[in-house]
Amino acid sequence: MIARVERSADRWEEADREVRAARWLAGQSFPVTRPLPGKQPVLAEDLVVTLWEAVQGEWTVPRELARLLRTLHRLIPPPSLGLPDLDPFHRVAERIDTAPGLDTTQRALLRAHHRDLVARWPTVTPVLGTHVIHGDAHIGNVLATDHGVVLFDLDGICWGPPEWDLTLTALYRDLGWHTDAEYAAFCDAYGFDVTAWDGYPLYKAVRELCMTTWLAQKGGENPAIDTEIDRRVSDLAEPGRPRSWNPY
């Protein structure tokens, strides 16, 4: 069993939606991590908790993620699931304001970068339509088990452009976390190369901001993370600078 503990009680709606989405996907024979039976989520000491069957497996390759996404993006959820529309900047402002360890200059830089990307977001038009998307589709959210691959961490599931799901794997390739061959296999399995789309640079920039502000929440945990946060914030100020980011 896995118990997922959200950061605060105000995450109830998202946790509830994640459980219901997982049950719907399981009912569609989609390989997804399964919540335990019974009423969920539960409130424990003012924290929202969901309970899941543990998944035993190994990390897999981007091609397997692409196959899952191709299937997921074709599914039609029931209206009762109440999926929201994608908010690409979800919690970004909150994280900038509250992340420990950021100095005044870093917060100002991140806020300015955030404002710029929010203004630019409507300037690109996705070409793959609007579908159910995972919202945080990267190789760390897929495990290969004895019964096949399994997708998990569905707290970001929503309606949105598939390009948003595809951008993370392309970005990971750009960061050197995936090889060119792995990325080519990912594109072949899905049937689309998001880097050939003119909106990719903007989606990539937004993803980089999200990754940086997510990691900034961990400021002060250890010196290596603090160094990585400083590196990422500095790089966001110079879009053309080569990235040497470490995965977390």
Q: What percent of the chain is predicted at pLDDT more than 70?
A: 100
pLDDT at residue 45 in the model: 87
Whole-prediction pTM value? 0.94
Residue partners of 61: CB distance under 8 A and separation at least 6: 139, 182, 185
Q: Residue 8 pLDDT > 90, yes or no?
A: no
Give the pLDDT confidence of 16-32 residue by residue, as tens digits: 999 999 999 999 999 99
Beta-bridge mates of residue 65: none
Other CB atoms within 10 A of residue 202 CB: 16
Helices then strands, each counted (H, E), the chain? 8, 7
Closest among 243, 209, 219, 222 to 93, alpha carbons compared: 209
Predicted local confidence at residue 198, as pLDDT: 97
Average pLDDT over the chain reads 95
Question: For 65-117, what is each residue's pLDDT tens digit?
Answer: 999 999 999 999 999 999 999 999 999 999 999 999 899 999 999 999 999 99
Mean per-residue pLDDT, 201-227: 96
Q: Which residues of 142-151 are buried (b: 16+ CB within 10 A; e: fewer)?
A: bbeeeeebbb
pLDDT confidence of residue 177: 97
pLDDT at 140: 93
Exposure of 178 by Cβ count < 10 A (0-12 exposed, 13-18 middle, 19+ buried)? buried
Tell me, what's the pLDDT at 91?
93
Confidence of residue 169 (pLDDT cuts 50, 70, 90): very high
142: pLDDT strictly greater than 90: yes
Q: Is 11's pLDDT higher than 90?
A: no
Q: Are 136 and 65 in contact (CB under 8 A)?
A: no
Residue 7 confidence (pLDDT) above 80: no
pLDDT for residue 88:
98
pLDDT, tens digit (0-9, with 9 covering 90-100), for 33-75: 999 999 999 998 889 999 999 998 999 999 999 999 999 999 9
